[in-house]
Chains A and B, each alone.
Chain A
């Protein structure tokens, strides 16, 4: 995981890869440009489609560039009450972030610093759940939620997301804490800080890149998740964005309104993009430099 190695702090001297050394500059840029294009093309198509009118979007053969810019799709989305679903999704995603970060931080700290019987086994066990496919657990989880009277509720869905985020998040947090030299914590103890104060004012801030990583992954996966939301939620008023988008797709006679659908996709992508760009500096960079030696 890039973030955990980033917490090491010492950036290795930049070295050009062998591949890059062997190639002339132009070829290198050409290849990179091509790869970037491959990734950006579908995104560009989405945005361009959104700006077309519905008839133009359905035209065959398709034009790449819209002839008339149109806000029609976004208006239609507004009329379909998209804000309600944005709020549902945001609530679930933020709940997942908060829940995951809190549990993974506390548990990760425990696994990194306290010795207790079964520590390794428990940690490996939690990692092992990563090997079980998500889909295989949906039915049993559904029964659990019904039992807890949390089926068809956003809280229940949030709890499910947190559960699925935990193994990975725990792994990241444990490693991040384990990499912080014991002496830093000892220094806080000598300074009179309680365990909780040490965690809050020293350990978590130092492990910030890992916390951001965990939060980002929790946010993205909850925000984009479709299958569990589709299965666990039955009232349309509680749908999250991805589920709501499917209701847009099936219009009259099963025809797909591409413009409208892609507009929904844009609404879904934008927050992810903004958040990622805002937080990437933590995500990439470590904070340990200068702590020891």
Chain B
């Protein structure tokens, strides 16, 4: 068990790609740290630098108070679970799990004991003498975990370990994995591109984008107080609504209606670089159906619109509204521009979504009246993407 500290960690590949830039991160003893970001943002590269599989171009890597930049993997005492599992195909499950211990010259009986123990934790006992080719995807995934666990290393590195499982198994394994990690108390860095996985699994979540760390915080804090537009857009599904708003003396003119500037919003605007235009963010669940509300709180803003698309999700509706062209968010800060292959954050800038309860009387093509509290509004700087508002009081 141990702490891992990344200080200004940087990876520049031979072809000039800057995959990870000045990454600062401290992972506490026994902590489960999630590294999340769209694909290609440098998560795997960061993990491989910690593992010792990729040379560190710049910066320092400390494990247990020791500078390990120049240590080969075998001297770092870290185990890694690869995205594609990377099991040894010619070895049985037992041999796969024993291999690391054999390399460490552990006593034979000891190896047998540890393998048996680990197999029990992972429910692999009856498969010990099979080869990877004879196992299902879920079982292979557990063997990959077993190979890491059996060594009892200082830390686990996991690179999207669940991404090759089907949705149901993935949810199941996610819970299982959190339980095992908690039980073993081994420091873990867990990489995923799936924000839901990140939100449900981690003590703390580090959000990366284009090689740069955006924010490190608890899942709740990331959701409620995103550091910038990217984090706001990446975390949460359906994604946060981002709209352009004009500032006019004491009101914010937004496509959702005029918002009177209160103390919080005024403070926020003072922190920004521009005073005429900002980007506002509003979570889909903060838009409420007026027809279901008996008495709206003071100072609420109402908005009427025609439902363009209605998605019934079972327990709730996702109601989409088409706001026309007025709301485009600049490409440089729009999170949807690098969330490739990820439905989250892939919405158009002119699409507004509201999460409405299933008893709402909504129909595609019909108009509906919604309201929200200005306290839920996030205000972002349109140039840097930085969040300007403080958390809701």
Determine whether the beta carbon of A293 is less than 8 Å from that of B79: no
Chain B residue, CB-CB nearest to A193: B103
CB < 8 Å: which of A187, A189, A192 contacts B88?
A187
Chain A residue, CB-CB nearest to B90: A205
Query: Can you name 13 extra interface pairs (CB under 8 A) apart from A186-B82, A291-B88?
Result: A184-B88, A184-B89, A187-B86, A189-B72, A190-B74, A192-B104, A206-B88, A289-B89, A290-B87, A290-B134, A290-B135, A290-B140, A292-B84
User: In the complex, what distance in Å separates the CA atom of A288 from the CA atom of B140?
Assistant: 14
User: In the complex, what distance in Å separates the CA atom of A196 from the CA atom of B143?
Assistant: 24
Residues on the A chain within 8 Å of B84, using CB:
181, 183, 292-293
For residue A81, CB closer than 8 A to chain B, the reply is: no
For residue A188, CB closer than 8 A to chain B, the reply is: yes
For residue A208, CB closer than 8 A to chain B, the reply is: yes
Number of A interface residues, CB 8 Å? 26
User: In the complex, what distance in Å separates the CA atom of A290 from the CA atom of B48?
Assistant: 23
Known contacts A191-B103, A192-B73, A205-B90, A292 near B53 by CB under 8 Å: no
Chain B residue, CB-CB nearest to A286: B89
For residue B164, CB closer than 8 A to chain A, the reply is: yes
Determine whether the beta carbon of B131 is less than 8 Å from that of A290: yes
Determine whether the beta carbon of A288 is less than 8 Å from that of B103: no
Query: Most B CB atoms within 10 A — which of A184, A188, A287, A290?
Result: A290
Q: Interface digits, B80-100 against A, CB 8 Å rule (1 contact, 0 not)?
A: 101111111110000000011
Known contacts A201-B99, A293-B84, A190 near B51 by CB under 8 Å: yes
In the complex, the 4 A-B pairs of residues with the closest C-beta atoms, listed nearest first: A290-B133, A290-B132, A191-B100, A291-B89
Determine whether the beta carbon of A192 is less than 8 Å from that of B100: yes
Determine whether the beta carbon of B133 is less than 8 Å from that of A190: no
For residue A138, CB closer than 8 A to chain B, the reply is: no
A-B contact count (CB 8 A): 91
Q: Interface digits, B121-145 against A, CB 8 Å rule (1 contact, 0 not)?
A: 0000000000111110100100000
Shortest distance from the beta carbon of A69 to any chain B beta carbon, whole Å: 47
For residue B78, CB closer than 8 A to chain A, the reply is: yes
Chain A residue, CB-CB nearest to B79: A190
Shortest distance from the beta carbon of A159 to any chain B beta carbon, whole Å: 32
Query: What are 20 of the A-B contact pairs (CB < 8 Å)?
Result: A9-B89, A183-B86, A186-B51, A187-B82, A187-B147, A190-B51, A190-B74, A191-B151, A192-B74, A192-B100, A194-B74, A197-B103, A202-B88, A289-B132, A290-B132, A290-B133, A291-B88, A292-B85, A293-B85, A293-B137
Chain A residue, CB-CB nearest to B141: A293
Chain B residue, CB-CB nearest to A202: B88
Determine whether the beta carbon of B132 is less than 8 Å from that of A186: no
User: Which residues of chain A have a CB within 8 Å of any CB of chain B?
Assistant: 9, 181, 183-184, 186-194, 197, 201-202, 205-206, 208, 287-293
User: In the complex, what distance in Å separates the CA atom of A233 from the CA atom of B106?
Assistant: 53
Known contacts A184-B88, A193-B99, A291 near B132 by CB under 8 Å: yes
Determine whether the beta carbon of A287 is less than 8 Å from that of B90: yes
Determine whether the beta carbon of A186 is less than 8 Å from that of B74: no
Chain A residue, CB-CB nearest to B78: A190
Chain A residue, CB-CB nearest to B134: A290
Chain A residue, CB-CB nearest to B143: A290
Shortest distance from the beta carbon of A189 to any chain B beta carbon, whole Å: 5
User: In the complex, what distance in Å separates the CA atom of A189 from the CA atom of B90?
Assistant: 17
User: In the complex, what distance in Å separates the CA atom of A252 from the CA atom of B147?
Assistant: 72
Residues on the B chain within 8 Å of A9, using CB:
89, 133
User: In the complex, what distance in Å separates the CA atom of A9 from the CA atom of B87?
Assistant: 14
User: In the complex, what distance in Å separates the CA atom of A290 from the CA atom of B78?
Assistant: 24
Chain B residue, CB-CB nearest to A205: B90
Shortest distance from the beta carbon of A200 to any chain B beta carbon, whole Å: 12
User: In the complex, what distance in Å separates the CA atom of A197 from the CA atom of B102?
Assistant: 11
Interfacial residues of chain B within 195-250, with CB under 8 A of chain A in the complex: none
Shortest distance from the beta carbon of B184 to any chain A beta carbon, whole Å: 17
